[in-house]
């Protein structure tokens, strides 16, 4: 057996290549491979797979969100990577990261090396709070661990759980990853939408588009996106309020286009105020047979109770059949304490397929 102690680890900064076909794209492509391998291993499915262009696009558009990362190799082979995202604002105090080690190479010290690198990066950027997520299969754990919210569980004996606890993290939230079968019957979706539209009444109307955002809706869409940072359950995580305007929406649309993503947006506009007050996004990459991802979904607080969540979800699912007919399913994440949105998902036909633990560490 090889003595890994005699084969040192080498940590290197991850550099974004000009394209996925560039001569120096190897480390980035390995990072994509690791991200997909870790998600498949930990969640038990491939619904979260990403293409290289999807991951690379944001690195070329860092006006609003900065991106950085590191790889770790042993014997000339990359066995792990960590990527981070952070707001490009002087008053921001947080950094989010994804730490990925080849499932077959876990426990060799790569996790510790990458965590040390990203903690140093956070300090260099002036961030004192780092946050991350771990994926877990849907089987009921023999040793459950609850977050600070009290909602949901992850396995207490999972090596990822043990690692984060040992390194000073606290479990602050559990999210449910649910999936909807796009190749099944839509009769219930159609019926739920008709009932919700009737209940909402004439003060609300549906607006839809495929990205980029139409100019006539761009200011209102900026407003509703900004509410994501204030109106969604955050548990014990630090979620900083974000400022959005039309230019930021345009930059976001350009970033999504650079990622090769098709985005369907279903909104509800409050007619008296002419303001968008609810929205849902469905997204797919360049592979038409891949799983669909749900991005943002929100009903602003003061307009809840009018079944707008049902309207945006059902409208976009019905619209998606025409946009991506080959996609087999929609994958979405919701906080376990977000009972209202989970009720909607369950009624429509979403089923749990994995769970995510949200971790926070305050750096000394």
Q: Could you tell me if residue 359 is inside a domain? A: no
Structural tokens at position 356:
């995510």
- Determine the pLDDT at residue 7: 83
Q: What is the pLDDT of residues 24-39, one digit of tens each?
A: 999 999 999 999 999 9
- Determine the pLDDT at residue 1: 39
Backbone phi, then psi, for 71, in 5-degree steps?
Answer: -115, 160
Q: Are residues 173 and 183 in the same domain?
A: no
Q: Are residues 140 and 204 in the same domain?
A: no
Q: Tell me the percentage of the chain whose pLDDT exceeds 90.
A: 96
CB-CB contact of 278 with 300 (8 Å): yes
Strands (E), 239-335: 262-270, 275-284, 292-299, 329-335
Distance CA 116, CA 295 (A): 30
CATH number at residue 40: 3.40.630.30
Global pTM? 0.94
**What is the mean pLDDT of the segment spanning 12-17?**
98
Cα within 13 Å of Cα(86), Cβ side: 27
Q: What is the pLDDT of residues 173-205, one digit of tens each?
A: 999 999 999 999 999 999 999 999 999 999 999
* Residues in CB range of 219: below 8 A, 6 or more apart: 245, 246
Q: Is the pLDDT of residue 93 over 60?
A: yes
Chosen domain end from 178, 211, 229: 178
Q: Are residues 241 and 267 in the same domain?
A: yes
Q: Could you tell me if residue 256 is inside a domain? A: yes
Q: Are residues 230 and 144 in the same domain?
A: no
**What is the mean pLDDT of the segment spanning 329-336?**
97
**What is the mean pLDDT of the segment spanning 296-320?**
96
Q: Could you tell me if residue 346 is inside a domain? A: yes
Q: Is the pLDDT of residue 2 over 60?
A: no
Q: Is the pLDDT of residue 42 over 80?
A: yes
Long-range contact list for 7-11, CB < 8 A, 24+ apart? Answer: 7/74, 7/75, 8/74, 9/72, 9/73, 9/74, 9/108, 9/109, 9/110, 9/113, 10/72, 10/73, 10/74, 11/70, 11/71, 11/72, 11/113, 11/114, 11/117
Alpha-carbon torsion (51, 57, 59, 62), positive or negative: negative
CB-CB contact of 79 with 69 (8 Å): no
Q: Are residues 112 and 16 in the same domain?
A: yes
Alpha-carbon torsion (222, 224, 230, 236), positive or negative: negative
Q: What is the pLDDT of residues 215-250, one digit of tens each?
A: 999 999 999 999 998 888 899 999 999 999 999 999
Chosen domain end from 178, 198, 224: 178
Distance CA 309, CA 350 (A): 14
Strands 94-101 and 129-136: parallel
- Determine the pLDDT at residue 364: 87
Q: Is the pLDDT of residue 308 over 70?
A: yes
- Determine the pLDDT at residue 6: 63
CB-CB contact of 126 with 279 (8 Å): no
Q: Are residues 201 and 82 in the same domain?
A: no
Cα within 13 Å of Cα(40), Cβ side: 12
- Determine the pLDDT at residue 86: 98
**What is the mean pLDDT of the segment spanning 292-309?**
96
**What is the mean pLDDT of the segment spanning 291-307?**
96
Structural tokens at position 41:
């291993």
- Determine the pLDDT at residue 5: 55
Distance CA 81, CA 67 (A): 13
Number of domain units in the chain? 2
Q: Tell me the percentage of the chain whose pLDDT exceeds 70.
A: 98
Cα within 13 Å of Cα(278), Cβ side: 27
CA dihedral 182, 186, 192, 198 (to 10 degrees): 120
Q: 40 exposed, middle or buried (CB, 10 Å; 0-12, 13-18, 19+)?
A: middle
**Domain of 197, in residue numbers:** 179-352
For residue 318, what is the enclosing H or E element? Answer: helix 308-323
CB-CB contact of 50 with 31 (8 Å): no
The whole-chain average pLDDT of the chain stands at 96
- Residue that has been written with the tokens 């588009």 in this structure: 209
Q: Could you tell me if residue 266 is inside a domain? A: yes
Instruction: State whether residue 31 is helix, strand or coil.
Output: helix
């Amino acid at each position: 057996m090889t003595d890994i102690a005699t084969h040192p680890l080498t940590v290197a900064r991850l550099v974004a290549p000009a394209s996925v076909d560039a001569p120096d794209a190897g480390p980035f492509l390995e990072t994509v491979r690791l991200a997909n391998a870790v998600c498949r291993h930990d969640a038990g499915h491939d619904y979260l797979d990403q293409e290289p262009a999807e991951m690379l696009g944001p690195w070329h558009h860092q006006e609003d969100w900065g991106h950085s990362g590191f790889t770790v190799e042993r014997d000339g082979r990359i066995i792990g990577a960590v990527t981070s995202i952070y707001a490009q604002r002087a008053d921001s105090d947080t950094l989010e990261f994804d730490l990925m080690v080849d499932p077959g190479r876990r426990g060799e010290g790569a996790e510790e090396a990458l965590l040390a690198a990203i903690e140093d990066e956070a300090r260099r950027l002036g961030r004192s709070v780092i946050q991350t997520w771990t994926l877990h299969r849907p089987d009921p754990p023999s040793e459950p661990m609850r977050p600070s919210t009290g909602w949901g569980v992850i396995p207490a004996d999972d090596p990822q759980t043990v690692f984060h606890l040992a390194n000073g993290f606290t479990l602050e939230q559990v999210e449910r990853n649910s999936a909807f079968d796009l190749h099944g019957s839509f009769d219930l979706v159609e019926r739920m939408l008709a009932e919700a539209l009737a209940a909402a009444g004439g003060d609300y109307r549906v607006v839809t588009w495929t990205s980029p955002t139409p100019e006539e809706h761009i200011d209102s869409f900026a407003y509703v996106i900004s509410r994501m940072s204030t109106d969604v359950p955050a548990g014990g995580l630090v979620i900083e309020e974000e400022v959005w305007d039309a230019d930021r929406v345009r930059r976001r649309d350009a970033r999504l286009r650079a990622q090769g993503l098709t985005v369907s947006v279903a909104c509800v506009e409050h007619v008296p105020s002419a303001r968008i007050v609810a929205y849902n996004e469905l997204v797919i990459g360049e592979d038409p047979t891949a799983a669909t991802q749900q991005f943002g979904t929100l009903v602003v607080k003061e307009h809840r109770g009018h079944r707008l969540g049902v309207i945006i979800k059902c409208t976009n699912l019905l619209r998606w059949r025409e946009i991506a007919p080959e996609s087999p399913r929609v994958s979405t994440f919701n906080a376990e304490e977000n009972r209202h949105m989970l009720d909607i998902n369950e009624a429509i036909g979403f089923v749990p397929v994995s769970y995510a633990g949200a971790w926070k560490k305050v750096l000394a």
